[in-house]
């Protein structure tokens, strides 16, 4: 039985699924879920991410982490956590760059939070066994300060969608059409107090907010900072951002359940509101381009090109891809959540 058939049987038996339930099944079902069975990152896979575009991305985040740790007062022991580490490239580049501070490397207790067994195995191959793995952040001991990084994690957490109809808000559900195929439909929804024109779609992600809430609570309790990097909105807005990617091609989100990667935009305003409610600091969100330029990606690219003149064209293209406004530079945002008492690099307010 395929995931499509199983979901159809489930809908016939107990009614339509919320979009969040559908996404969770497509991404994490133990037998068929995309991340449980066939996550494929990279040029030859389904999607590519910033750490795979260039080593400069992880290296600069490594320097950011070292400077953040310094501003935290160089704690002798801290947890260096990555959530959703993919194939391990970001952590590998981060740790290599951080070697310039042996005291940082010595103090870091490295944890990877990963739900996918195939990716867990790839991370172990890439990074060796001198670090620890957890299935949830809650399993990472909370008795020391923390520096946390997550790139493209929020975008694969489930969302619910609400549609403004003539008669009020309705929730977008996944049901069956007359021929028995998966199809979108609407169900009565709780009353929402948002004013919007008929046809507007409101996305909410309790899962994104819950992660921010948990990260912020730990940072306030034990100190530290988190970087959440993702494509998404920096100001509240409406719109359907659900997208399915299979071999770098967009397809309908109901076409191939479990076979395509499903993503949504990160809802940064909701994420930052959840963090602020815990008492954490939430400086202004930067675009990925601003963040990397403030950390000195221009100089890093020049140094790499000087060391490898044969690769200077490729390095220039990688730089463009990461920071140019019409590439990843503006769509991707970098949000920082930190404990009171210091400000992490790149997030100082401009005079």
Nearer to ligand SAH among residue 112 and residue 346 (C-beta): 112
Nearer to ligand SAH among residue 62 and residue 85 (C-beta): 85
Task: Out of 16, 20, 22, 35, name the contact with ligand SAH by CB under 6 A.
Answer: 35
CA distances from 304 to 74, 95, 298 (A): 29, 18, 10
Dihedral over Cα of 32, 38, 41, 44: its sign: negative
Q: Pairing relation of β-strands 146-151 and 132-134?
A: unpaired
Going by the DSSP 8-state scheme, the letter that residue 281 receives in this structure is B
φ/ψ of 348, rounded to 5, equals -65, 140
Which helix H or strand E contains 112, and what residues bound it? Answer: strand 108-113
Q: Pairing relation of β-strands 332-338 and 146-151?
A: unpaired
Per-residue tokens: 126: 């890439």
Least Å from the CB of residue 157 to ligand SAH: 6
163 lies in the site for ligand SAH, by CB under 6 A = no
Cβ-Cβ contacts under 8 Å for 10 (sequence gap 6 or more)? 17
Strand stretches in 166-208, DSSP E: 168-176, 182-188, 201-204
From 13-21, 81-89, 214-222, 327-335, give the range in contact with ligand SAH by CB under 6 A.
81-89
Going by the DSSP 8-state scheme, the letter that residue 334 receives in this structure is E
212 lies in the site for ligand SAH, by CB under 6 A = no
Least Å from the CB of residue 289 to ligand SAH: 17
Task: Out of 153, 219, 227, 295, name the contact with ligand SAH by CB under 6 A.
Answer: 153
CA distances from 14 to 9, 183, 191, 295 (A): 9, 16, 24, 52
Task: Out of 8, 17, 83, 315, name the contact with ligand SAH by CB under 6 A.
Answer: 83
Task: Out of 156, 225, 322, 337, name the contact with ligand SAH by CB under 6 A.
Answer: 156
Least Å from the CB of residue 326 to ligand SAH: 21
Nearer to ligand SAH among residue 83 and residue 173 (C-beta): 83
85 lies in the site for ligand SAH, by CB under 6 A = yes
57 lies in the site for ligand SAH, by CB under 6 A = no
Q: At how many degrees (to 10) do helices 55-71 and 89-98 cross? A: 50
Give CA–CA dist 197/194, Å, rounded.
10
Least Å from the CB of residue 251 to ligand SAH: 18
Task: Out of 49, 54, 101, 241, name the contact with ligand SAH by CB under 6 A.
Answer: 49
Please count the residues of this chain forming the interface with ligand SAH, following the rule CB under 6 A: 20
Q: Contacts with ligand SAH in 96-115 (CB under 6 A)?
A: 113-115
Residues found near ligand SAH in the complex (CB under 6 A): 35, 39, 41, 49, 51-52, 83-86, 90, 113-116, 119, 151-153, 156
């Amino acid at each position: 039985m395929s995931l499509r058939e199983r979901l159809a049987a489930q809908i016939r038996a107990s009614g339509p699924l919320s979009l969040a339930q559908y996404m969770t099944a497509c991404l994490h079902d133990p037998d068929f879920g995309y991340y449980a069975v066939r996550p494929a990152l990279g040029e030859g896979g389904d999607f590519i991410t910033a750490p795979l575009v260039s080593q400069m991305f992880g290296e600069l985040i490594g320097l950011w982490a070292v400077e953040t740790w310094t501003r935290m007062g160089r704690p002798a022991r801290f947890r260096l956590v990555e959530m959703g580490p993919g194939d391990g490239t970001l952590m590998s580049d981060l740790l290599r760059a951080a070697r310039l501070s042996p005291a940082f490397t010595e103090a870091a207790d490295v944890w990877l939070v990963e739900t996918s067994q195939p990716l867990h195995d790839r991370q172990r191959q890439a990074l060796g066994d001198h670090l620890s793995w957890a299935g949830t952040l809650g399993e990472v001991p909370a008795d020391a300060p923390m520096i946390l990084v997550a790139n493209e994690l929020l975008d694969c957490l489930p969302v619910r969608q609400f549609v403004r109809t003539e008669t009020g808000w309705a929730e977008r559900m996944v049901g069956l059409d007359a021929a028995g195929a998966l199809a979108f439909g609407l169900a009565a929804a709780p009353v929402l107090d948002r004013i919007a024109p008929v046809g507007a779609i409101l996305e909410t992600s309790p899962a994104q907010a819950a992660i921010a809430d948990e990260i912020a609570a730990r940072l306030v309790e034990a100190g530290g900072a988190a970087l959440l990097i993702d494509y998404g909105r920096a100001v509240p807005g409406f719109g359907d951002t659900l997208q399915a990617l299979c071999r770098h091609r967009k397809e309908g989100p109901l076409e191939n359940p479990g076979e395509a990667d499903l993503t949504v935009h990160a809802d940064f305003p909701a994420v930052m509101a959840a963090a602020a409610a815990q008492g954490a600091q939430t400086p202004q969100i930067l675009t990925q381009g601003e963040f990397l330029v403030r950390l000195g990606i221009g100089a890093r690219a020049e140094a790499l090109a000087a060391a490898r003149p044969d690769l200077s064209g490729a390095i220039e293209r990688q730089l463009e891809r990461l920071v140019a406004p019409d590439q990843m530079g503006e769509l991707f945002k970098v949000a920082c959540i930190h404990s009171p008492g210091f400000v992490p690099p790149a997030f100082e307010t401009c005079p």
